[in-house]
Amino acid sequence: MGKRKQASSHGDQPWDVQTSGRLLLALNEAADGNPTPQQVIDVVGVTLSLDACGIFPTRNEEDASIAVYFRTDELRDAFINAYMEKQVGVNTTRLMSTGGVSTTMAEWEDANPLPDSIMELLYPDSWSTAVELYQDKQVVGILWMIGSPQHNAKPPSKEVTQSIAQLASPALQQTVGRAWALSDANELHLLEELSSILTQQRPFSERLQDVVERARAATGFTSIGLVAQGTKTASGQNPAALAVDEAAYSEEYVDWALQFYATDDALDETRRFFEGREGPLLFADPAQLSTMEEQSKRWMIETGIRFLVQIPLAYGDEYLGTLRITSTYSESETWERLRVFTALASHIAAILKSVRLFEEVQDANASLTASHHATVQTLAYAAEARDPFTGQHLRNIEAYTTTLATELELSPEDVEALRFGAGLHDVGKLRVPDSILLKPGSLDKREWDLIRQHPLYGEEILAHSNIPQVSLQIARWHHERWDGGGYPDGISGDEIPLAVQIVTVADVFDALTSPRPYKHAWPADKALAEIESHARRQFSPQVVEAFHALFEQGALREILASQVASPFVHPGKREAA
């Protein structure tokens, strides 16, 4: 353990009712009764003369600092360095005591929650307390405080600590809620526009640059940077883009930043930092961070940057890159303008993943091979994996399609091409925002209009890949109807290719017999009866007849038995897209 500061002879100052009243009044007055987490922490730290205090949200027990206060820069730097090294966080602050009952450093000896670099800056008789923050009976964060008698800081009573927590909880929940919400029509339009740019057929680095420039113009942030890992440019660098306020940054700094942040070392360091953490992470006064590069510090000071935000781009457990944003706005306004990015992050990650897969295919310039098929099918699973309730859907539809095509006496080559195309039928959903695709309630007209574009998106995505033409037909026409009432083209009867007719029946049957957030799974005989009732209207009568024969033969039992139960929670009111 490091050497601690020596205790002074300063006498204890009793915690009194006046201090409690002054604190609670200041908290109530902060931001007209609607304070941000940082405002709560600033008021608590100053009023109670604390050495340090902060709020950690508890997202799956991971660390993501929202607000912190420190008496000295030295203590701030030590704490932030420890945080960057994952030596402090939610789990360590819990050891400072929970429930609002304070403990002293002398009581930590067997389970010291703080590293030596921080302990040596505190007095031996310093105290700490931590209390959980609740919202709707769920723990949403930890409020922690450290103080010492030498600075006239006496630990607040359990009742006062819990009163502070009651005011901090809504502030934390509101900020986190703002960060992850996407409801405004203008933001939805921007999201659609950025998604469209990312899926265009032109050099990837140009697409990234257009995305960050359009996003910066729309949000007004001082700078927005995006670096993608793994897909190298011709120069061997990771693709990167940086959009800045031209009045704030020099051309030399932009050139330096693009070179520095696009290196493997810089990306690996960011990836290690985000391991076990969720984004976005917001850092106040980032120019004071000891880990910040000197070039960035200088420009941040000159430009008046107040916040640095980093948002990881991850596909499952795979780190793909980072969004890095600087802001001169207030904390609350920064969070508000971040909404589109937090919603966009998962979508960008899926696009980055698909771009990498497709570029591998294009670079190889291979014809139709098993390895090529596997790569393109991974893209289809990327689209499907965005919805946790339909992860088995592609495997089921491929099995039904293969069985049905064989019953209709298609050649083995056509059966295989059809199986491959069936797996790609919904790849266009990669361009549908999560806020729409995963919405548990009913969709409005604008949202329906967008989701009905996914067949066209799918055809566009597949158009430049060396795959059978039938795959493009399936992607575009799998929502067409036998009577001409489908979309996007309204074709009917035998204008619809037989392959598409087969996939349409298989798709609907699996959707009916699988659980979804908006319905329970139907029994197989009820689902078959529903399909038969729509023969000659929605479905090809020839395909429906063949499917009925398979059902009677028992050929579908193995497929039905192999379905993985979905962890769906509640049925709602939503029609399948």
pLDDT digits (tens, 9 = 90+) for 263-298: 778 778 877 777 766 667 778 888 887 778 888 888
Report which of residues 241 and 478 the model is more confident about.
Answer: 478
| Res. 552 pLDDT band, cuts 50 70 90 | very high
Report which of residues 393 and 547 the model is more confident about.
Answer: 547
What is the H or E stretch that residue 170 is in? helix 158-180
State the fold for domain 185-354.
Answer: Beta-Lactamase (3.30.450)
Question: In the structure encoding, which two tokens stand for residue 249, read together?
Answer: 């940054």
Residue 62 pLDDT exceeds 70: no
CATH code that applies to domain 367-561: 1.10.3210.10
CA 71, CA 76: separation in Å to the nearest integer?
A: 8
**CA dist 201 → 27, 80, 155, 464, 476 (Å):** 53, 42, 61, 8, 18
Hey, is 390 helix, strand or coil? coil
CATH of 17-180, one of 3.30.420.40, 3.30.450.40, 3.60.40.10, 1.20.1260.10: 3.30.450.40
In 3D space, the residue among 391, 475, 435 whose CA is nearest the CA of residue 187 turns out to be 435
Count Cβ atoms within 10 A of the Cβ of residue 411 and give its class: 0-12 exposed, 13-18 middle, 19 or more buried. exposed
241 and 225 Cβ atoms separated by less than 8 Å: yes
Whole-number percent of the chain with pLDDT over 90: 16
Helices (H), 425-515: 434-437, 445-451, 454-462, 469-477, 498-513
Task: Give residue-wise pLDDT tens across range 99-135.
Answer: 666 777 667 656 677 888 888 888 888 888 888 887 7
- Looking at residue 489, the DSSP 8-state letter turns out to be S
142 and 90 Cβ atoms separated by less than 8 Å: yes
Phi and psi torsions of 101, nearest 5° = -90, 125
Residue 350 pLDDT exceeds 90: no
| Res. 516 pLDDT band, cuts 50 70 90 | low
Q: Which of 368-377, 414-423, 425-434 has the lowest mean pLDDT?
A: 368-377
Residue 378 pLDDT exceeds 60: no
CA 335, CA 331: separation in Å to the nearest integer?
A: 6
Question: In the structure encoding, which two tokens stand for residue 326, read together?
Answer: 């600087």
CA 45, CA 68: separation in Å to the nearest integer?
A: 9
Q: Where are the domains of the chain?
A: 17-180, 185-354, 367-561
The predicted model scores a pTM of 0.41
Question: In the structure encoding, which two tokens stand for residue 255, read together?
Answer: 């050139």
Do domains 185-354 and 367-561 share one topology? The answer is: no
pLDDT at 172: 66
Long-range CB contacts (within 8 A, 24+) of 99-102: 99/131, 99/132, 99/158, 100/129, 100/131, 100/156, 100/157, 100/158, 100/159, 100/161, 100/162, 100/165, 101/129, 101/158, 102/127, 102/128, 102/129, 102/155, 102/156
Whole-number percent of the chain with pLDDT over 70: 71
- Looking at residue 519, the DSSP 8-state letter turns out to be B
| Res. 409 pLDDT band, cuts 50 70 90 | very high
Task: Give residue-wise pLDDT tens across range 145-189.
Answer: 888 888 888 777 777 777 777 777 776 655 444 433 334 556 667
- CA 135 to chain centroid: 21
pLDDT at 35: 66
Q: What are the DSSP calls for 244-309, one per residue?
A: E-TTTS-HHHHHHHHHHHTSHHHHHHHHHHHTT--S-EEEESGGG-TTS-HHHHHHHHHHT--EEE
- CA 4 to chain centroid: 41
- Looking at residue 334, the DSSP 8-state letter turns out to be H
CA 205, CA 233: separation in Å to the nearest integer?
A: 8
Q: What is the CA radius of gyration of the chain?
A: 28
